[in-house]
Amino acid sequence: MKQRPRAELEPIDQAGHAVIGLLKEAADITEENIERAMTVAHRLSLELRTAEDRIRELEGEIDRLESRATRAEQWLGAIKKEIDLLAHRSSEVIQVVAFGAKRGAAIG
């Protein structure tokens, strides 16, 4: 088919060229959009990986803190037992001393 100058083209030919031009423009825009989407997807993938790493770090920190809290509770329990034992002994000593003082006063 012989190319004629644009002004001499039939309306059907002009419409065909216009459609092809629009298709090429749409393809270029689509390609740009795909590249932008791929860039965003890559960036989001890196951000997700960073977030997952941080989550693992925080989970490890939670485990360490829970372990420390458990040990602290155990120590508090042991300290309470010791306080209770010492308080019981102290009250026994006070009773013995008080009893002895009463006896001594009654005897003397």
DSSP 69: H
Q: Is the pTM of this model over 0.85?
A: no
What is the phi-psi region of residue 30: left when phi exceeds 0, alpha when psi lies from -120 to 50, beta otherwise? alpha
> Taking Cα atoms as reference points, which of 8, 33, 30 lies closest to residue 17?
8
- What are the domain boundaries of the chain? 10-107
Q: Return per-residue pLDDT of the chain as tens, 108 residues.
A: 556 565 567 999 999 999 999 999 999 999 999 999 999 999 999 999 999 999 999 999 999 999 999 999 999 999 999 999 999 888 877 777 777 766 666 665
Positive or negative: CA dihedral 9, 13, 18, 21: negative
